Structure 1
């Protein structure tokens, strides 16, 4: 049962988040061959300061060995 967790900088609309969630699930269903009911999606917003102080060092870089797509920036 895939759970997709998305971390974003604050400022995206609920409409953008809904569309992003739908598109992640649509593509994942095609690739993984699971039904719609198998998926859950969470989206969490962060300020730029929170991203710099919390997300980048404690999530992204701490789990760098798990990244399939690495960021093209450094903080």
Structure 2
């Protein structure tokens, strides 16, 4: 049931994404007591010019209390 979406700038290789998905899956299984077959991981490329509008404002700034690993910067 846990579904993790990694939003990142374009240019990551399939190998990088596959290895990260495997690492995330292991950690979700270990830390959330989930079965491996329940975990899904997706990747979404976001250009730097779209980051503030598509990710930072709606998913970080506006949900600050839900973000457990906060970025070390603030955007307008």
TM-score after normalising by structure 1: 0.89
Where does residue 66 of structure 1 map in the other structure? Answer: 66
Q: CA deviation at 1:28?
A: 1.2
2:16 is the counterpart of 1:16: yes
Runs (4 or more) in structure 1 with deviation over 2 Å come to none
Of residues 15-24 and 29-38 in structure 1, the stretch that sits farther from structure 2 once superposed is 29-38
Q: CA deviation at 1:53?
A: 2.8
2:4 is the counterpart of 1:4: yes
TM-score after normalising by structure 2: 0.88
Q: Secondary structure at the match of 1:63?
A: helix
CA RMSD of aligned residues (A): 1.1
Distance 1:67 1:2 in 2: 16
Aligned residues: 75
Q: CA deviation at 1:52?
A: 2.6
Where does residue 31 of structure 2 map in the other structure? Answer: 31
